[in-house]
Amino acid sequence: MTTPTAPTGTTVPPVPTANALTGKRRIAFASFVDENYLPGFLTLLRSLALSNPNVCEDFLVLHDGLRPDSVAKIRSLHPRTDFRRVNAEHYDTYAKGDQDNYLVRKAYFILDVFRVRDYDTVITLDTDMVVLDDLGELLRLREGLAAVPQFFYGQHKLNSGLLVIQREYLSDAFCAELDEVGRAGTYELDKHDQGILNAVLDGDFVHLDARYNFVKRRLSGDLPVPEGTAILHFTGRHKPWQGGEAGYAEAEARWHEHDLSDAEFHAAYLAAGGAKHHDLLVHYGTPHVLRTSDVESARKVAAAHIAAGEYQEAVDLLSPLRIPVDEAWPHEVLGHALMSVSRYEEARAQLLLAAAAPNRAATAYGRLAQIAWIHGDDEGAARHALQGLGVDPTHRANRLMHLRTTGLTPPAEGPASGQLAHVAFYMERQGNAGDKLLPESVRLAFGPDTGPSRWHSVHAHRLFDEAALERVNARRGLVIGGGGLFIPDTAPNGNSGWQWNVPDDVLERIDVPVLVYAVGFNAFDGQAYGHGRKRFLSSLRKLVERSAFFGLRNHGSIEKVRDLLPPELQDKVRFQPCPTTVTRQLVQGWRDPADRENTILVNAAYDRAGLRFGHDYGHFLGEMATAITALGEQAEVKCVAHSLDDERIAFDLRREHGISLPVIPMYDFDNDAIRDTYARTKLVIGMRGHAGMIPFGCGTPVVSLISHPKMAYFLADIERPEWGISVHDRHLGARLTERVTELLADHAATVADVHGRQQELWKVTEANAADLRVIVGR
């Protein structure tokens, strides 16, 4: 059997970083730290974590020399520190012969912060501050340079210590202004003044409430710290770690609340209420568990690992501990972690222990049902699901599993010798509409018969065991696709590290042609494979080696996967567009609609919302409200929900902005209804990948809301990057309105452009189809 080479014209262009593609803001805190102020900085870090337990941005530590043990202390308190040594030569320019003056050096640090180029927002904090309350408002700021005006010395000057600096100020032009004033020496530097910066700004900055830089001197006479103070600033010569100052006992007591040993600090963080950031919880919780063997703390840390797709890490943390028999929740979490690395028998034992407790039983039974289903035991899965429903009749996972495994009528398949086997994610009722359409679309690329007479279905998430291997090897070939199967956490398993649950030794014994068709590399911006990366890389390499055809659905995925392969395998990876993008060519008897409804459909996605939106969800929602209000004058705007969670945008717009959107529950539609709905609308604004690709394939114009690199990958492939706008775009509402208005202005021409772009993808698909016919014999 000869493996065809990739078609010409598929050279992979360089792909920008995920951050550049999604436009997700990079935010960092920054402080200038020296040995004298190190005790204050360590306390600042502890206070930041305890008052904002769900915030973990990069922290830039600017310094002009720190001892190794000081660096280690800082790293132990923050998992994302970036040490940057300042250029001491600048002291001669600005120091005026006073190089040892900390105020002068700190003023120089301010100048160095403005030379940062790898972040969109930088928040400076002085080392003599403690954080006492939520800083969310600062993290959500998008424009200008923000600071608290001086309390005593004129409102046109900013107070030292806290700055929120946006990208337009992190520029060569603004640095040139600072340098010019600094060299001229036309500024005054004293303990109340940012000197050079105030001289340049001359009062032109965004004024923040005093609670974000509440200076100690306002509390003279032992006044208490006001409720709601977010940042308390110990200005003046006498610092709390140096013995403090008479008359400020109440303020200094707040500082000493955070002057803790590592053990005290770790315990305080674990005990704090509210949501916690994964990186902080793992960074502080792991040494706390190793020190104390506390099972409840270990459960929290392991659950954070699981939420981030770090399943082996969760197993490694919980397994050595002696979990009391009646501690149901840790047993359930360990069971979840074990099943996610395919240690199924051990997982069953843990989940059965968890099922004994009423408050964890429904979830435990749901996982037991999942394990049974993975192993092809529909009867056992239905039994466990029913047990879970007996505990909690509203438990969605158990209800869906019970529906999935009862009342089944096996399809009447044709002769095995005439079939292709098809590994795919077969979506359930009320599942994601895009995933529901994908298997049929892939099959259409091989011919009009998509039913059981020609196809043998293999669910990607079920264990591909010896029996499955025997069934597949009896067929003409094995098709794997489509969809974003290369992702670590949609269906975690320790056999492959991606969605197809196939052990290496079984994969190697497939003796029919393996055709990987239109699969995508679906990792989000900021998502990693953790300790499962080695397992994934091994499985990926074996899959490519074994494949007679290896086609990925966009050039971004091609570059990502080629980077993971040895040189001798890289050329096997080729471009195969998602078949949903050429729907008009694949569906027999397709007719473009004679008339379209005067509607615009909007789709938003909420899975992994933190990775999609960061701190910008409120901004996104407000900008969408602006756009929807404006576009509503041109057409009726409706929400199209690919999954139940997608309806959230309609709820949030109604609650926050008083906008009511009709909801189209596409998760309840069959494939024909999905295609028909998208073919008859005028335009789709979509955040999900298939809320762009499916309407495009039906000939409908699209504008993508980019929160995932794959959206930008697709638009690059069709050479229309202007059809995408980042969900983080500062002017999203205005830009979206303008872009949609342009596309609707000459709708016929826009549709013709869509058809033309689609034709280019169809040429690639046809060329690949010719090779596939050679491989599978017809």
Q: Per-residue pLDDT for 104 more than 70?
A: no
The candidate with the shortest Cα–Cα distance to 458, out of 437, 441, 473, is: 473
Contact indicator for 516, 482 with CB cutoff of 8 Å: no
* Maximum mean pLDDT: which of 164-178, 484-498, 540-554: 540-554
Query: What's the mean pLDDT in 144-170?
Result: 86
Token pair in block for residue 184 = 């001229």
pLDDT value for 3 = 40
pLDDT value for 22 = 83
The candidate with the shortest Cα–Cα distance to 381, out of 405, 403, 361, is: 405
Give residue-wise pLDDT tens across range 256-278. Answer: 999 999 999 999 999 998 899 99
pLDDT value for 11 = 45
Across the chain, mean pLDDT equals 91
- Mind giving me the DSSP string for 427-448? PPTT--HHHHHHHHHHHHTT-S
Query: What's the mean pLDDT in 210-229?
Result: 95
pLDDT value for 89 = 65
Contact indicator for 612, 722 with CB cutoff of 8 Å: no
pLDDT above 70 coverage of the chain, percent: 92
From CA 337, how far away is CA 329, in angstroms rounded? 12
The C-alpha angle 350, 353, 357, rounded to 5 degrees, equals 135
pLDDT value for 193 = 44
From CA 734, how far away is CA 738, in angstroms rounded? 6
Q: Per-residue pLDDT for 568 more than 70?
A: yes
pLDDT value for 586 = 97
pLDDT value for 188 = 58
pLDDT value for 100 = 52
Residue 224 three-state SS: coil
pLDDT value for 293 = 97
Q: Per-residue pLDDT for 527 more than 70?
A: no
Buried b (16+ CB within 10 A) or exposed e, 249-261: eebbebbeebbbe
Q: How many CB atoms lie within 10 A of CB 56?
A: 21
pLDDT value for 4 = 40
Query: What's the mean pLDDT in 570-579?
Result: 97
Give residue-wise pLDDT tens across range 575-633. Answer: 999 999 999 999 999 999 999 999 999 999 998 888 899 999 999 999 999 999 999 99
Query: What's the mean pLDDT in 450-473?
Result: 96
pLDDT value for 5 = 42
Contacts of 292 by beta carbon, 8 Å cutoff, 6+ apart: none
Q: Per-residue pLDDT for 136 more than 90?
A: yes
pLDDT above 90 coverage of the chain, percent: 79
The candidate with the shortest Cα–Cα distance to 642, out of 680, 603, 611, is: 603
Q: Per-residue pLDDT for 12 more than 50?
A: no
pLDDT value for 105 = 64
Contact indicator for 124, 135 with CB cutoff of 8 Å: no
Binned at pLDDT 50, 70 and 90, residue 13 comes out as: very low
Q: How many CB atoms lie within 10 A of CB 320?
A: 11
Single pTM value for the model: 0.91
Amino acid occupying residue 273: G
Q: Which residue has the higher pLDDT, 407 or 552?
A: 552
Residue 765 three-state SS: helix
Query: What's the mean pLDDT in 152-158?
Result: 69
pLDDT value for 707 = 92
pLDDT value for 91 = 55
Rounded alpha-carbon distances, angstroms, from residue 29 to 278, 620, 663: 18, 23, 40
Amino acid occupying residue 157: K
Binned at pLDDT 50, 70 and 90, residue 93 comes out as: low
Token pair in block for residue 363 = 């979830």
Q: Is 770 left (phi over 0), alpha (psi -120 to 50) or beta?
A: alpha
Give residue-wise pLDDT tens across range 696-743. Answer: 999 999 999 999 888 999 999 999 999 999 999 999 999 999 999 999
